Structure 1
Amino acid sequence: MPKDAPVPEQLSVSIGQYSAAGLKPSNQDFHGAMVPDGQALALKGVTLALADGISSSEVSHLAARTSVRSLLDDYYCTSDAWSVRTAATRVIAATNAWLYAENARIPGLDHDRGQVCTLAVLILKGAEAHVLHVGDSRVWRLSGESLEPLTADHRLTHSSTESYLDRAIGLRAEVEVDYTRLPLARGDIYLLTTDGVHDHMEARFVARTLREVPDLTLAARLIAKEALARGSTDNLTIQIARIDALPTGTLFETSLPVPQGLRAGNTLDGYTLLRQIHANHRSTIFLATDPAGARVALKIPAAEIREESTYMRQFLMEEWIARRITSAHVLRAATPPARRSALYVVTEFVEGVTLRQWMTDHPHPSLDQVRDIVGQAIRGLRTFHRSDMLHQDLRPENIMIDRAGTVKIIDLGAARVAGVQEAAPVPGDAPILGTLQYAAPEYFSGDPVGWRADLFSLGVIAYEMLTHRLPYGTQVSKVRTRRDVARLGYRSARDDDNGVPDWLDEALRRACHPDASRRFDALSEFDAALRSPGAAYGRRHPVPLAQRHPLRFWQGLSALLALLCLILLTTVTTP
């Protein structure tokens, strides 16, 4: 790093917390915060959570404690690839299910007397705040002299003086969690409060206290005591978070040197290079053996592209992703070295051919061969999507078929990982990472991109395997607006040479439809549609009885003819 370069900062947050029983004999609130370090801070963030047990239950404090502790523990055990929303809501849902089951174990128990609580969560990650909320505890942001509520109470009014919680943890078998995300700025101040505080606090007092009292723990105590003085009779819990610094560094270590002049026979961190298997202007790939003798692929970046941040992110993401996906149909990471002295990635070596080469070797594949390859690719893609990832660069060159016929998706660096994108977003003006001929129109039109973009790419690949052309030619890459998307015209895959049936052509048309909302609702639907006509196709294209049940058709026709003959014979013989 140059001497005059700014030192990268991490997310830095100051936290103050206070909780007391107030005028009640016991405190049924529970709160906690977690400030990790290193990669956990970058990829998971800082978490604050508080829960308020319902006053009608003598055991609701147990629900509050369980909800907060499970969130602070289990959230950090979820996949780094998951978005905050995915990870946190799954943890909350699991806690809710457990508490509901505990309540259900007591026959005839009224849930108003069970383990039930509210929950408010603030997760600060990268340059964003993520708010999750169930019940009537609240999250606020201080704006000048006013408090901006970031949550809405889940309460229903029963009468002019009575209301009740419509949503709470442990109340029902399933819980609906409100979620909001918003940008962070240095100096922002957020508050989490239970109703014993916010029902009696005054915004100007809060703003003045936070302006005059730098110690946030003391500020929290003063705000809670002011609520008590203003007539609060409930438990009092408040958490305060102030954003002191936002992250400016990168997620991945790039200070290691790029190996230079390597050739077959050289060693690097215990890997022995056997031969070069691929090279371009961005990287060189060697077949190598690890210290245990297993064959691996070792990829080294070109020195001149080290300063290209987008490519270096792609390069380092490949091994990172490979270590977080477990599938027979996705490239696996190799065992890492004990100490890495240089910049490179190491993965399993797949002995086989790319799908592009396979298509050259099999210019007229059978429908079963195409179905098998696409079906295996679907199983690999499904692993990506379940991990909150999009591959984004699916093309024949990035699909390998090994000697056993196993399909593997490779080249993972262009993948969009929800958790990483939150921690270090790719700039909006960054170039499209995928290959233009296979990229979905939404990448070019600016519409939201989801998992159906990968479905589009796979549909184009299946189409090309059967026709040796692309369904829209080169027109997709020229899309700039939604009007351009609407103008895209699908060219039927069916012709006199390839024998593609109408129903299969319709499946391909739907998989790579320009409008993402009109594609299949699941990858498994596309897989099924490649194997047989669906019910919808049958309704639109009814098959004549003679084709559906030829034996029954001819039996019925013979019976009808016999009946006609009998009628004619009777008519002729009657005097």
Structure 2
Amino acid sequence: MRSGLAVSIGQHSDKGRKDSNQDFHGAALPQAPGRSAKGVAVAIADGISSSDVSHVASESAVRSFLTDYYCTSDAWSVSRSAQRVLTAANAWLHAQTQNSSGRFDKDRGYVCTFSALVIKSTTAHVFHVGDTRVYRWHAGALEQLTEDHRVSVAGGHSYLSRALGVGPHVEIDYQALPIEKGDVFLLTSDGVHEHVDAAVIRTALDAHPGDLDAAARSIAEEAYRRGSPDNLTVQIVRIDALPDGDVSELHAQRAALRLPPVLEARMQFDGYTIVRDLHRSSRSHIYLAVDDDTGERVVLKTPSVDLQNDEAHLDRFLLEEWVARRIDSAHVLKPHVPQRKRSYLYVAMEFVDGQTLAQWMVDNPRPSLESVRGIVEQLAKGLQAFHRMEMLHQDLRPENVMIDRTGTVRIIDFGSAWVAGLGDSKLADPAQVLGTVQYTAPEYFVGDGGSARSDLFSLAVIVYQMLTGRLPYGAQAARIRTRADQRNLQYRSALDAQRAIPAWIDEVLRKALHPNPLKRHEALSEFVEDLRQPHPDFLNRSGTPLVDKNPVVFWKCTALLLGMAVVVLLGVISLRT
């Protein structure tokens, strides 16, 4: 069962020895799907003591951040969303100052320091300006993640060098760091962190493990007892559970892994024992291995040595496992996820004892229509599992389909998959045709990108090939460069005197393989149903016109008839003269 992001939050704020509290803090904990799309956010702001309106600035900064951040596009990164929101907040605060008495004295304007923490997936995003702070308590040590924007001057005095509302533009410090279950983050105002140390924080966390509000209050009270003259605000965020990880983080995860060596039989590798090679190609090396902890047979896939400098290709290795973890279908290959930490870049998947569909087609050159239907129905279920998760396989071909000894069909190899939400990632480059040319839908070649109907096209090519032993467009697809080329693709009828293929099956395939995706079946289920129960439209057709069935023969015959007509006319004219 896939786990999600779970956090515990504790907060406490008090005016301390001041007449009023100019600090402001808040947290946003959306439920699914907002939590997975935008994460959990906490923010703290501290108004400058010289201004009578700084408490307004603090409240406005926190409220606007926690509200507007969740209104930004889900396709934006956390950094982009937060930076846009904070830029707008700064501009508003500065405008308020310009329209007030603070216009001529910035120390009396709408100014505050600000820090925010966004936890999304398995990454913490920190945004900061001023002298509030963000800490991380990890492995028994306290780490300060932010830098105070203060400048010291003579006489022991200091002043803020950066804050929200000071000017029309502001520079926001930003960093992203991976997190682990059990990590604790603290956000504090200067009235707290200038008077407590790591020992105080450790004592508070140990004394109140189940009540983080009490832990935050304990830290603030200790700062007060130690003589803090300022407002006191503490926020604590503890990571209780983490999801599998966000696709946008794959590059960072891959960068932390070493490239694997060339593997050999009997070799020990990252907790596995290599048994033998299964397949080698220009893109990857595939091995049968045994998990040393469980004794389970698995398949390991490593990047080809020739492509170990291709960053986009290497990122796709982790994308393949990321995709597999999210799809739960009997007709999609499952990942093998060991408990131990991984040190190298590779993909571990379940081992299927069987053969590829490509080999099955060699062994069964003239399959029955019913056996073809059985395979197609299973493949369609696997593709539907992708589409329900807003993913496309994009490389469905006989070599990427396994049939085990029970006859169960599984889709394998997700390295070319498209995932909704990749945004501007190189993994989503629309100009890149990742699938095998003969099975790739024509729209990819003209830069339109794919859809569920593109995977349907690939499935229909496989059906056509199983029934006829050839491809519907031959080598034409590889030559597509323009939309005119796409429109001029000529479907070759599947009807063959040597094979007993019903005419209506040919019509079903003609529709599924149409060069225009909008003229194909609307859904995989419709295609599967038409292969088993013909639509009346296909049965009522008197026959396929020759121009559609074989356009080359049609135009040759037309040219021959026109030539004969010309000869006859010339003869008639010569007789009359």
What TM-score do you get using the length of structure 2 for normalisation? Answer: 0.55
Q: How far has the Cα of 1:326 moved from its partner?
A: 0.9
**Counterpart among 410, 425, 448 of residue 412 in structure 2:** 410
Deviation at 1:298, TM superposition (A): 1.2
Whether the 8 Å contact between 1:187 and 1:244 is mirrored in structure 2 is no
- Please tell me whether the aligned partners of residues 378 and 527 of structure 1 are also in contact (alpha carbons under 8 angstroms): yes
Counterparts of 1:373 and 1:276, CA distance in 2: 27
Residue of structure 1 in register with 2:263 after alignment = 262
Whether 1:346 aligns to 2:348 is yes
| CA shift in 2, pair 1:408/1:188, >3 Å | same
Distance 1:313 1:336 in 2: 20
Equivalent-residue separation in structure 2 for 1:477 and 1:203 (angstroms):
63
Q: What is the Cα deviation at residue 316 of structure 1?
A: 1.7
**Deviation per residue, 1:302-356 (Å, 9 max, x gap):** 3442220221122221111111111110010013241112222110011111111
Equivalence for 1:365 = 367
> In 2, are the aligned partners of 1:471 and 1:491 still within 8 Å (CA)?
yes
Distance 1:509 1:32 in 2: 59
1:443 is matched with: 444
Matched, 1:122 2:71: yes
Alignment CA distance shift 1:459-1:190 (3 Å):
farther
Tell me, in whole angstroms, the C-alpha distance in 2 between the residues paired with 1:333 and 1:373. 22
Cα separation, 1, equivalents of 2:310 and 2:459:
29
User: 2:542 aligned with 1:514, yes or no?
Assistant: no
The amino acid across from 1:342 in the alignment is: Y
Query: Higher relative contact order at CA 8 Å, sep ≥6: structure 1 or structure 2?
Result: 1
Q: Which residue of 2 aligns with 1:331?
A: 333
- 2:253 alignment partner AA: F
Q: 1:244 Cα shift? A: 6.3
Identity rate, percent: 45
CA shift at 1:427, angstroms? 6.0
Instruction: Name 2:498's counterpart in structure 1.
Output: 497
Instruction: State the AA in 1 paired with 2:319.
Output: M
Q: Secondary structure at the match of 1:408?
A: strand
In the other structure, the counterpart of 2:402 is 400
Task: Normalising by structure 1, report the TM-score.
Answer: 0.55
> Paired residues, what number?
358
| Cα separation, partners in 2 of 1:246 and 1:427, compared to 1, 3 Å | farther
Matched residues in 1 for 2:338 and 2:510: separation?
A: 43
Between the aligned partners of 1:399 and 1:540, the Cα distance in structure 2 is 34
User: 1:384 maps to what in 2?
Assistant: 386
Query: What corresponds to 1:468 in structure 2?
Result: 469
SS of alignment partner, residue 347 of structure 1: strand
Q: Distance in 2 between matches of 1:349 and 1:467?
A: 31
- 2:375 aligns to what SS in structure 1? helix
Q: Within 5 Å, which residues of 2 pair with 1:169-568?
A: 213=111, 215=113, 250-290=251-291, 291-419=293-421, 421-422=422-423, 424-426=425-427, 428=429, 431-540=432-541
Q: Which amino acid aligns with 1:329?
A: H
CA deviation map 1:39-92 (0-9, x unaligned): xxxxxxxxxxxxxxxxxxxxxxxxxxxxxx6xx1212565xxxxx59x9xxxxx
CA distance in 2, matches of 1:524, 1:246: 46
**One-letter amino acid of the counterpart of residue 75, structure 1:** P
Gap runs ≥5 in structure 2: 1-24, 40-66, 116-169, 177-247, 544-577
Secondary structure of 1:381's counterpart equals helix
Residue identity opposite 2:71 in structure 1: L
**CA 1:518/1:33 → structure 2, altered by over 3 Å: closer, same or farther?**
farther
The amino acid across from 2:281 in the alignment is N
Q: 1 CA distance for matches of 2:535 and 2:508?
A: 9
- CA 1:338–1:522 in 2, change beyond 3 Å: closer, same or farther? same
Deviation at 1:265, TM superposition (A): 1.3
CA root-mean-square deviation: 3.9
Q: Relative to structure 1, is the Cα distance of residues 330 and 215 closer, same or farther in structure 2, using a 3 angstrom cutoff?
A: same
**Contact 1:123/1:129, CA 8 A, preserved across alignment:** no
| 1-structure distance, mates of 2:366, 2:98 | 76
**Cα offsets for 1:332-386 (capped at 9, x unmatched):** 0013241112222110011111111111110000100111111110000000000
8 Å CA contact 1:127–1:246 kept in 2: the answer is no
Contact kept in structure 2, 1:394 and 1:457, CA below 8 Å: yes
1:496 is paired with a residue of what secondary structure? coil
